[in-house]
A and B are shown apart, each in its own frame.
Chain A
Amino acid sequence: MRKLSAVYRKELEHYFQSISAYVMISLFLALAGYFFYSIFRYYNYLSFQAGREPSLADNLNLIEGVMRPLMSNVSVVLLFAIPMLTMRLLAEEKRQGTFELLLTYPISDFEAVMGKYLAALSVFAVMLGGTLMYPAMLAIFSDPETGPMVTSYIGLFLMGASFVAMGIFFSSITSSQIVAGAATFAVALFFLIIGWAAPFAGPTLSKVIAQFSILEHFDSFSKGIVNLPDVTYYVFITAFFIFMTLRSLESSHWRT
């Protein structure tokens, strides 16, 4: 455990001693802020309209009108941000040869991988934590439901955790950061949009496809429901890619 935390600390220091983490977090928050601003403007506009025409006010509340669209936009920004966060993790060490040295220390592959995984996850958590100011503002000036807000953050965190796991896996199979980042982005995007194929597939297949979709499982979180199958889905994706990372490291021992 002490060795895991040594790797964790080193990675976290790397993120925060170079400017990379600051740049990523600020860009992410700037984009998320812009989304919040425009979504909120639109919500404002609708509220004024509803003032004149009460029938429009039926579905108008802060969760449906602001938080849900904001969360789905943030999830798309994460799709870009997380590969950039994770692509360096193992690829760079492999390129520089430091990985060989790390593996000859008395540390298990699992400790090395988890240390790195948790460091990236922490940076992601800081990023996501920064967006809490938007619901906080809503809470100051209005009275939104807290339940759905809490659950959508849980959902977003789990989604990000699975993206980070994909990222570390693709970083483990190549020594090129670009390849690792691009592959993570492509696969994460694929998981996000796979649901689009569902309406055109047969009745059984469409259910299967929908089950693979990251968005499908996020839906209930954003409505304020924590479903065991949804949690299991994200945990499974995360565990699967971490397991694959360990396998890929083991195979690189044998091949090179």
Chain B
Amino acid sequence: MIRVENLTKYYGETVGVRDLNFQVETGEVLGFLGPNGAGKTTTMKMLTCYLPPSAGTAKVSGFDIIEQSMEVRKRIGYLPERNPLYTEMSVRAYLGFVARVKGIRPPAQRGQIDGVIERCGLETVHRRTIEKLSKGYQQRVGIAQAILGDPEILILDEPTLGLDPKQIIEIRQLIRNLGGEKTVVLSSHILPEVSQVCNRVIIINHGELIAVDTPDNLRSRLAKAAILRLAFRDEGDAAARASRILESIKGVLIVRQEPGGDNARIFTVECAPDRDIREEIARALVGERIPLLELYREELSLEDIFLQLVTEEVS
């Protein structure tokens, strides 16, 4: 659906993005992840034909963003970063304007506008002036204008920026509902959001692509060391004995301990990822009569992966 080839953008001497290559399949929700200034917005502006690339190109539904920009623009719905709207207009009048500019045929306009108003939950506010709406409703208007005209692809730049938690959940739900039927590319610097909403994640930093994968694969690919957490009741010399036992088990790399609440002691054990040693540990500890309360493997959050990737790139 979208094929990005060596996409590069320089702002004078500074690099916006460099040599990006990736593809987005039909019906996929792709997350674009990176710290502020990584080049997410630049890439999106190029895909929507607002900025011409310095080198490379991209094809959207087979149309080139430089050579066939009109065809591309017909197939893309775009929500820019700060959600710019004509705030002095009413929701309905604004959507009417967008429908005409997008070239929707007049007989179909009314039905389409009613459709997106319903889709985005704007029924109660569609006659009101946009500037008088809450930020969450304004964001829905932004999404409504993007999906008006039924474009195949949606490009949403930081769609939940500046919303309160309840609004964020609602907007995410809306985006999830759109995925599957439409191809969605969304950018974010909030990691849980991406792992919740997206099928696949692209991580970029300093304008360069660092990783492309599903959130799950990223997690397992990057699990260089599996981390186990153990907790047991701190009585007698249990802590000292436990630490001796743990260190004697093959595959354990580092053992750290810290006091926990409820008279418990928490151990963090880093071990080699190639072998699952949970069972072995449990048997050894119980065999030595250590009062084990908990034992679990910690999943790497996307946040950790992101930090790992980004800092690796720097060093």
A→B interface (CB under 8 Å) = 2-3, 5-7, 9-10, 13-14, 17-18, 96-98, 100-108, 253-254, 256
Contact = CB atoms under 8 A, between A and B. Distances in A.
B49 A104 contact: yes
Contacts, number: 66
A2 B103 contact: yes
Task: Tell me the interface secondary structure of chain A in the complex.
Answer: helix
A106 B85 contact: no
23 contacts: A3-B103, A6-B100, A6-B101, A7-B101, A9-B97, A10-B97, A14-B88, A17-B88, A18-B88, A98-B86, A100-B45, A101-B145, A103-B49, A104-B73, A104-B76, A105-B73, A105-B98, A106-B73, A106-B74, A106-B101, A107-B103, A253-B50, A253-B51
Given A10-B86, A96-B84, A102 B101 contact: yes
Nearest to A17: B88
A3 B101 contact: yes
Contacts of B70: 106, 108
Nearest to A14: B88
B205 interface: no
Nearest to A104: B48
Contacts of A256: 51
B82 A97 contact: yes
A6 B97 CA distance: 6
B78 interface: yes
A210 B73 CA distance: 47
Nearest to B142: A101
A101 B49 contact: no
A55 to B, nearest CB: 61
Contact of A253 (B52, B80, B89, B103): B52
B93 interface: yes
B108 to A, nearest CB: 13
A6 B23 CA distance: 35
Contact of A2 (B76, B88, B100): B100
B8 to A, nearest CB: 15
A253 B54 CA distance: 12
Contacts of A101: 78, 80, 84, 145
Interface of B: 45, 48-52, 70, 73-74, 76, 78, 80, 82, 84-89, 93, 97-98, 100-103, 106, 145
Given A13-B93, A101-B84, A106 B103 contact: yes
Contacts of A6: 97, 100-101
Contacts of B49: 103-104
A101 B82 CA distance: 11
A105 B104 CA distance: 12
A195 B273 CA distance: 86
Among A14, A18, A98, A256, chain B packs the most CB atoms within 10 A around the CB of: A98
Contacts of A18: 88
Contact of A98 (B45, B48, B84, B103): B84
Contacts of A5: 100
A98 B78 CA distance: 12
Given A10-B97, A13-B93, A253-B51, A104 B78 contact: yes
Contacts of A14: 86, 88-89
Among A10, A98, A104, chain B packs the most CB atoms within 10 A around the CB of: A104
Contacts of B103: 2-3, 106-107
Nearest to B97: A10
B265 to A, nearest CB: 55
B82 to A, nearest CB: 6
B65 to A, nearest CB: 11
Contacts of B88: 14, 17-18
Contacts of A254: 52
Nearest to B74: A106
Nearest to B105: A2
A3 B88 CA distance: 20
A10 B88 CA distance: 11
A106 B84 contact: no
B84 A107 contact: no
Contacts of B45: 100
Among A10, A13, A101, chain B packs the most CB atoms within 10 A around the CB of: A101
A14 to B, nearest CB: 7
B90 to A, nearest CB: 10
Contacts of A98: 84-86
Contact of B84 (A2, A10, A100, A105): A100
Contacts of B74: 106
B86 A106 contact: no
B50 A103 contact: yes
B114 to A, nearest CB: 18
Among B86, B88, B101, B106, chain A packs the most CB atoms within 10 A around the CB of: B101
Nearest to A97: B84
Given A10-B86, A17-B88, A100-B84, A107 B51 contact: no
Nearest to B85: A98
Contacts of A108: 70
